[in-house]
Structure 1
Amino acid sequence: MGVADLCTDLVRLRSENPPGETQEVAEYIHAYLAEIGIESSVVSRDGRRCNLITRHPRPHLLLCGHLDVVPALADGWRHPPFSGAEEDGCIWGRGSSDMKGGCAALLTALRRAVDAGMEPPVEVVFVCDEETGGCYGIEYLLAKKMLRPCDTLIAEPTPPLSPCIGQKGLARVSLSFSGEPGHSSLYPAIGKSAVMEAHEVVEYLKMLHGREYPVSTEMETIISRSSKVLENLFGLQGLDHVLSRVMFNPGVVRGGEKANIVAEHCDLDLDLRIPWGCTASEIVSEIADQAPSAAMQVTAVSDPSCTSPTARVTERVCAEIRRVYGEDPVPIFQWAASDARHLRMAGFPAVEYGPGEVTTIHGVNERVRIDSLICAEEIFYGIISEYSRS
């Protein structure tokens, strides 16, 4: 079975998160690995959200991916989102880029290595809930000490010449404001609006977004070239601030009771991406200071992280990209978040690289080019081969 066929099979095995039920796809991969003589285990914290892991007595490399995908409505798709249809040189469907294509390329590369007589010193982990934070997946496996620190390759979709060696931090904060209700005709002279309390926090975040944080010359260079890759990827200019400043999204606002009542309650859910030069806890503390009377809940927090450009795993990934594409790779920092943040925090030097049409992930008509799947498999095979010789 080639990498495109395997990608199609994985896309057809539905694993939307929520609800995050990944047992079927985990068992499929368990059977695939058994065919090539690799034992694996399906591990779950709750019996529904299933992870797959293999063990090696002395692992040199961890191959990592996630099995869950974001939900998809059928409206607007060129092909049904879980059809895995092949057309125009692509596999179409939810998860084809993020990241069942990457998982397929890891698996077929590993199979090639075994078929070539290698005994790869690798472990494999495919997790169930990267899209919702990791508490049933990578965080659970790390807490249970089921994974041992070693060089790590995560097959998340990236531009073909740009392995990701770092990513911004993350903070998710929920605030609940309480006001003093009154007749709207007297506001703001009388009454205290919970909606306006939330609005003031958003205004503060707009100011915070304009703040710049000093970083080292090396970090500044990587951020600058990463910004250029981002601009080229999305065909937009002026995105240099995305990696260097706090980005924020007031994703959910629930407030007020009626238009002619001063709002007594308002809830505000924030997603913030934290740049290098500050920490997530610093930003969370600043928000708390701006809303001293609000009830605050922090549901996720992690600092910016990176793997050295001179780390062994970075250099080996770059060498294989250069071999396959014949061009010099450009390692970048990422503007989003993934399981790499948890792994780096636990001592795993992690690099993300994989096939995918990055601009289509989480969107309608998500797809992955078959030629990028083939190139990724070749790159992964080269990486596995190098670690097998070391």
Structure 2
Amino acid sequence: MIRKLLLATTLCCCATAPGMTAQERAPHELEAREIYSDIVSIRSARGQEKMPEMVDYLVAVLKEAGFEEDDFEITDYDNKGEATQGLIVWYRAENPSEDPIVLLAHMDVVDALAEDWVRPPFELIEEEGYFFGRGTADNKYGVTQLVSTFIRLKEEGFEPTRDLVMVLSGDEETGMVSTRGQAKYVDEVVKPAFVLNADAGGLALGDDGEPLYYGVQGAEKTYATFELTVTNPGGHSSTPRKDNAIYELADALKAIQAYEFPVMSSELTRASLRSSGRQRLDGLGKAMRDFADDPTDEDAIAVLRANPATVGTIGTTCVATMLRGGHAENALPQSATATVNCRIFPGVGIEATEETLKQVVANEDVKFKLISDLVESPESVLREDVMAALETALAARGADVPILPHMSSGGTDGMHYRNLGYDTVGISGAAAKQNDTFAHGLNERLPVKSFYDGLDHFYIVIKELASPEA
């Protein structure tokens, strides 16, 4: 009785809202908090070989809630020599009258080093109104939301009108091998009506913590990573050469740094910027609105390009992320390599982006190698039934805010489902201020209030989309 045994401990240490004691929390809130704590403590990063532990834990808590052995599909994949698992869970309809819904989240995280963090990264810690820990935002809250919702519905005896299929990947952050395999399985076996992603979208909060708008991810940029390498014979450091590999690579990187890809927009990105801009009274908000009205407005473009939160919305971006070179302190480098990560605007294409970078570098001695798998996905249709369900969930949360479509600059599992022709929308239940979660960075966190306020999110959405009375 894993979950029930731990619940008693949770009653003593569970986070509470102002004026609320742990004992006043609803049972499903306590259960969700316990799952959250347990999975944050599992270091499910590449190289740690913890994914089997994660999968076993989730299967155990779901079985305890009433899911049967044949409701699970555990998938094993090889990701560049490391075994990784994925988990698929069926919440079956007795007499389905509609096509299934697939719900996505990922169990893996970017690794974190304890010596770099203020607090232990793989321990859920509540301080200053936040839950701290690696994955608290990306994406173990998404996993917690979906798993706890399945448990809550099962314990209530909910009987859906269609199969609900939870698909949890094991390497979204490092290659998406499990994601590709799961997407293929979904396409061949599940054939859903649409896909909902817990790893994108969410409620945007202002500096005062009040809701501004709800973002729905309807598209994402293409992810591509290149290695740029320069080689030469090297030699002794006491006899320098003009064609130093490190200097040539540095020149190439400086050229990429200085280059700005052409400004681009789509109906979705313009609508997103226009709506977001209406929520702001500052210069950035004005630039958003001005660009939406006129994508050639140079003043607006300059403001949007200068802001890390908006630069990726108006075109392709490429940035150096890793560097290695040389082999000895007293020897000229025989090779130098940099990793350049690109987020490519839909419709541009990877080959065209690589060709542009080669022209920018203008040095045939710099060799390019694409080291990421290619996935270019289209925009998704934002279905009326999904938008209506979101409106109901937001109303129940007391968030009377506009729902805004947007394109993610980052990549998620959703791209693989879009690429197979399934409308895939990101509708996380999380709420946060802009750039406040530090996902992939130090001291990742999620507001405690956001955690609890969002627990009804998928519960309501699912009931709206799969209830007999809906």
Shorter-normalised TM-score: what interval? 0.7 to 0.9
SS at match of 2:422: coil
Matching residue's letter, 1:155: A
Say if 1:292 and 1:380 are closer, same or farther in 2 by CA, change over 3 A: same
Could you tell me which of 302, 306, 314 is aligned with 2:379?
A: 306
Distance in 1, matches of 2:430 and 2:52, equals: 24
Distance in 2, matches of 1:341 and 1:227, equals: 26
Could you tell me which of 54, 57, 64 is aligned with 2:104?
A: 64
SS at match of 2:62: helix
Unaligned runs of 5+ in 1: none
Taking only the aligned residue pairs, the percentage that are identical comes to 22
Distance in 1, matches of 2:105 and 2:248, equals: 41
User: Could you say which residue in structure 2 is the equivalent of 1:24?
Assistant: 53
Say if 1:74 and 1:148 are closer, same or farther in 2 by CA, change over 3 A: same
Say if 1:298 and 1:9 are closer, same or farther in 2 by CA, change over 3 A: same
User: 1:133: Cα distance to partner?
Assistant: 2.0
User: Could you say which residue in structure 2 is the equivalent of 1:220?
Assistant: 270
SS at match of 1:5: helix
User: Could you say which residue in structure 2 is the equivalent of 1:99?
Assistant: 139
**Which deviates more from structure 2 when the two are superposed, residues 87-96 or residues 29-38?**
87-96
* TM-score, normalising length: structure 1: 0.84
User: Could you say which residue in structure 2 is the equivalent of 1:36?
Assistant: 65
Say if 1:48 and 1:206 are closer, same or farther in 2 by CA, change over 3 A: closer
Could you tell me which of 211, 218, 223 is aligned with 1:165?
A: 218
Decide whether the 8 Å contact of 1:175 with 1:267 is kept in 2.
Answer: yes
User: 1:279: Cα distance to partner?
Assistant: 1.9
Matching residue's letter, 1:93: G
Distance in 2, matches of 1:125 and 1:383, equals: 17
Deviation track 1:266-292 (CA, whole Å, cap 9, x = no partner) reads 212111111245222210233355454
Decide whether the 8 Å contact of 2:136 with 2:445 is kept in 1.
Answer: yes
Decide whether the 8 Å contact of 1:149 with 1:347 is kept in 2.
Answer: no
User: 1:18: Cα distance to partner?
Assistant: 3.2
Decide whether the 8 Å contact of 1:63 with 1:154 is kept in 2.
Answer: yes
Distance in 1, matches of 2:52 and 2:277, equals: 38
User: Could you say which residue in structure 2 is the equivalent of 1:179?
Assistant: 232
**Which deviates more from structure 2 when the two are superposed, residues 327-336 or residues 168-177?**
327-336
User: Could you say which residue in structure 1 is the equivalent of 2:88?
Assistant: 53
Matched, 1:359 2:401: no
User: Could you say which residue in structure 2 is the equivalent of 1:296?
Assistant: 368
User: Could you say which residue in structure 1 is the equivalent of 2:410?
Assistant: 336
Matched, 1:241 2:283: no
SS at match of 1:360: coil
Decide whether the 8 Å contact of 2:36 with 2:140 is kept in 1.
Answer: yes
User: 1:23: Cα distance to partner?
Assistant: 0.8
Distance in 1, matches of 2:431 and 2:51, equals: 21
User: Could you say which residue in structure 2 is the equivalent of 1:141?
Assistant: 182
Matched, 1:83 2:157: no
User: 1:8: Cα distance to partner?
Assistant: 1.0
Decide whether the 8 Å contact of 2:219 with 2:379 is kept in 1.
Answer: yes
Deviation track 1:315-347 (CA, whole Å, cap 9, x = no partner) reads 533542344223222332222111111221122
Unaligned runs of 5+ in 2: 1-29, 204-213, 286-302
Say if 1:334 and 1:274 are closer, same or farther in 2 by CA, change over 3 A: same
* TM-score, normalising length: structure 2: 0.71
Say if 1:304 and 1:203 are closer, same or farther in 2 by CA, change over 3 A: farther
User: 1:293: Cα distance to partner?
Assistant: 4.2
Say if 1:200 and 1:89 are closer, same or farther in 2 by CA, change over 3 A: closer
User: Could you say which residue in structure 1 is the equivalent of 2:195?
Assistant: 152
Distance in 2, matches of 1:76 and 1:197, equals: 32
Say if 1:128 and 1:350 are closer, same or farther in 2 by CA, change over 3 A: same
Matching residue's letter, 1:346: L
Decide whether the 8 Å contact of 2:77 with 2:84 is kept in 1.
Answer: yes
Distance in 2, matches of 1:309 and 1:143, equals: 23
Distance in 2, matches of 1:199 and 1:328, equals: 45
Matching residue's letter, 1:267: T
User: Could you say which residue in structure 2 is the equivalent of 1:132?
Assistant: 174
Distance in 2, matches of 1:82 and 1:162, equals: 29
Matching residue's letter, 1:382: I
SS at match of 1:163: strand
Distance in 1, matches of 2:276 and 2:221, equals: 12
Could you tell me which of 82, 87, 108 is aligned with 2:148?
A: 108
Could you tell me which of 228, 249, 267 is aligned with 1:198?
A: 249
Deviation track 1:53-80 (CA, whole Å, cap 9, x = no partner) reads 1245865211111111122222354542
Distance in 1, matches of 2:462 and 2:74, equals: 23
**Which deviates more from structure 2 when the two are superposed, residues 264-273 or residues 316-325?**
316-325
Distance in 2, matches of 1:22 and 1:125, equals: 14
Distance in 2, matches of 1:363 and 1:241, equals: 19
Decide whether the 8 Å contact of 1:162 with 1:331 is kept in 2.
Answer: yes
Distance in 1, matches of 2:328 and 2:35, equals: 53
SS at match of 1:51: strand
Matching residue's letter, 1:9: D
Distance in 1, matches of 2:267 and 2:401, equals: 25
Decide whether the 8 Å contact of 2:249 with 2:366 is kept in 1.
Answer: no
User: 1:168: Cα distance to partner?
Assistant: 1.8
**Which deviates more from structure 2 when the two are superposed, residues 244-253 or residues 166-175?**
244-253
Deviation track 1:228-255 (CA, whole Å, cap 9, x = no partner) reads 98979xxx98423232133222222223
User: 1:15: Cα distance to partner?
Assistant: 1.4
User: Could you say which residue in structure 2 is the equivalent of 1:370?
Assistant: 448
Count of residue correspondences: 383
Matching residue's letter, 1:306: E
Matched, 1:272 2:354: no
Distance in 1, matches of 2:65 and 2:330, equals: 68
Matched, 1:123 2:198: no
Quick one: higher RCO (CA 8 Å, sep 6+), 1 or 2?
A: 1
Distance in 2, matches of 1:3 and 1:100, equals: 11
User: 1:166: Cα distance to partner?
Assistant: 2.0
User: 1:381: Cα distance to partner?
Assistant: 0.7
SS at match of 1:107: helix
Distance in 1, matches of 2:47 and 2:384, equals: 36
